[in-house]
Structure 1
């Protein structure tokens, strides 16, 4: 087997000292090396297939260049996977490796995961959840820089990022009202996640701010899936004074709204405008016509979590915890039109 290339080999190929190679490949701050020399060293390292010894670097810098990522079930559901992608891209850009453990919503697994990551001397940790909720940060991470992603920490004063649920709902309602709708139904889920209350509150406030009547008969609850949306919208359409538009708690309920409208002989958006929330792949852009919805900013939240964690790691002073609301942009498609009546 061919011997691994050494730093000495790179130095000989580039025509510089081994110390200069070490300065460049380890990104030593303050090292005065000309740009053309840096390029020559990196080219020589690439040609030889040289890789710096990360263990030796860790001993010298007291950093492993690794970030732990503990999730409940993000990795097993495609819906929120963009959070992982965003975190990975931000970590990779900064030269960090993301170590991910999926706990399956088990508290015991979460503690074991945190313990395993700490034992591997991670530089920092991200605790992430599939949807906006309250979360307990594992106590094993108490001495590790940490950030909470898509949740609010229940037992820890640390930075966290969550979607601006109310802002996205306000944008959706603004689109429906601007199209001329005065009777707007809202179908929401039966349980009580944080997102439900914030989106419902924004629905009601949008009606008030636009001097539109609040009719309790226009709000229906059911399961937060296509079947629940179908049943809830059917009840609205069969009421004495049905709405001309429906704002759905999520895109899955909106998918059920399309089915309900079709069964009642209504065309979307000519006879009934429909809007959703989440911008869930394989639903919002696959429906016909395409669904106007508010997008959950999963990718950008993942990036923010890593960048905030890295800022903490690089700071020489304590950083005050941040609570960040990530905007949920409106995605316009073709499911909204002016009402016929």
Structure 2
């Protein structure tokens, strides 16, 4: 019979129940290789563990070994974000599969909170730290993280000294624009999510992918078809109206994110037009609260949150000397109803 809650069994009691030494129990529970503990003894020990409800003292184990089975996850607002939270989900799944757990803190970009989170994680002797961002940007990794293995995810270490895992923004921009080219469109506009002088990798990469797809297709680079906003619905609305007012308007628009695409839908509706039928729209993010629920559903590029987190943990749990400097994870095109074949011009 299992012990009642509140009565903590000891390793000595497990040994007594199984009829073995405390050392044998320790060997079994720590799964020490190369021991002479036979299968029958191992089964008796595990049966005693189950009957007594014995739990190892993880903190004491970390004091003895110098390392816990915890992985720190420090982020700005990932855990509380409605879609970037998939980073944490991916990290938790991979940690569980490898016998580890995630110790997560959102710092909301508050230096004091981040410092406290670092103190806590170092005191718990975490195996390493995933340093995550809600959106793809350049980050300055705290000096204290040089003490333990660290991987930046959904961002890039500005100094280039810490392994970074991030979305392949250029590949995503290329895939979005190429999809429009393959649908027969030759007047393809882009509404970016940041000003031309911004150093954010997301907009820089997505614009580069757009340009590469046009070049590959032999289509001209018409700067009149490129607009810059801040990635909000209002900019998508206003800038789409500007584009449609051109003397030779685009037949398709690649929007730098799904919120901008939502604004483009609103602009079309205000003119009595419809996405897909009168102007094809592609977004970026595959925002689960936006893309599937627009009418028609938005064709968009999905950010690989879970894949990035899994890859970050794979890197973290390997020999730190073999950590790659930068790893770009491909983004997937999600097709819905907002892209149609281009109409022949009359």
Within-5 A mapping of 1:100-249: 100-155=104-159, 157-191=161-195, 192=198, 193-249=200-256
Deviations 1:196-241 (A, max 9, x none): 1111111111111101121111111223111111111111112111
Matched, 1:338 2:341: yes
User: Equivalent residue for 1:95?
Assistant: 99
User: Equivalent residue for 1:270?
Assistant: 277
Shift of 1:48: 3.0
User: Equivalent residue for 1:68?
Assistant: 72
User: Equivalent residue for 2:32?
Assistant: 28
Going from structure 1 to structure 2, the CA distance change for 1:107 and 1:13 (only over 3 Å counts) comes to same
* More displaced stretch, 8-17 vs 296-305: 8-17
Going from structure 1 to structure 2, the CA distance change for 1:265 and 1:24 (only over 3 Å counts) comes to same
C-alpha distance in 2, partners of 1:141/1:324?
19
Provide structure 2 residue ranges, at least 5 long, that are not aligned to the other structure: none
What is the DSSP-based 3-state SS (H/G/I as helix, E as strand, rest coil) of the residue aligned with 2:114? helix
TM norm structure 1: 0.91
Matched, 1:281 2:321: no
Deviations 1:73-125 (A, max 9, x none): 21232121111111122222222232222221234433343233223322211
Q: Is the 8 A contact 2:166 2:329 kept in 1?
A: yes
Going from structure 1 to structure 2, the CA distance change for 1:239 and 1:222 (only over 3 Å counts) comes to same
C-alpha distance in 1, partners of 2:100/2:280?
46
Please point out which of 236, 258, 261 is paired with 1:254.
261
C-alpha distance in 1, partners of 2:253/2:28?
59
User: Equivalent residue for 2:86?
Assistant: 82
User: Equivalent residue for 1:294?
Assistant: 301
* More displaced stretch, 93-102 vs 107-116: 107-116
Going from structure 1 to structure 2, the CA distance change for 1:50 and 1:330 (only over 3 Å counts) comes to same
What is the DSSP-based 3-state SS (H/G/I as helix, E as strand, rest coil) of the residue aligned with 2:136? strand
Q: How many residue pairs end up in the alignment?
A: 337
What is the DSSP-based 3-state SS (H/G/I as helix, E as strand, rest coil) of the residue aligned with 1:56? helix
C-alpha distance in 2, partners of 1:110/1:289?
42
Matched, 1:325 2:328: yes
Going from structure 1 to structure 2, the CA distance change for 1:74 and 1:15 (only over 3 Å counts) comes to same
Please point out which of 294, 306, 310 is paired with 2:317.
310
Going from structure 1 to structure 2, the CA distance change for 1:330 and 1:39 (only over 3 Å counts) comes to farther
Q: Is the 8 A contact 2:59 2:124 kept in 1?
A: no
Q: Is the 8 A contact 2:315 2:323 kept in 1?
A: no
User: Equivalent residue for 2:63?
Assistant: 59
C-alpha distance in 2, partners of 1:43/1:312?
36
Q: Is the 8 A contact 2:161 2:325 kept in 1?
A: no
C-alpha distance in 2, partners of 1:201/1:173?
11
Q: Is the 8 A contact 1:161 1:301 kept in 2?
A: yes
Q: Is the 8 A contact 1:145 1:312 kept in 2?
A: no
Q: Is the 8 A contact 2:66 2:125 kept in 1?
A: no
C-alpha distance in 1, partners of 2:19/2:336?
59
RMSD of Structure 2 on Structure 1 (CA): 2.2
TM norm structure 2: 0.90
Shift of 1:269: 1.0
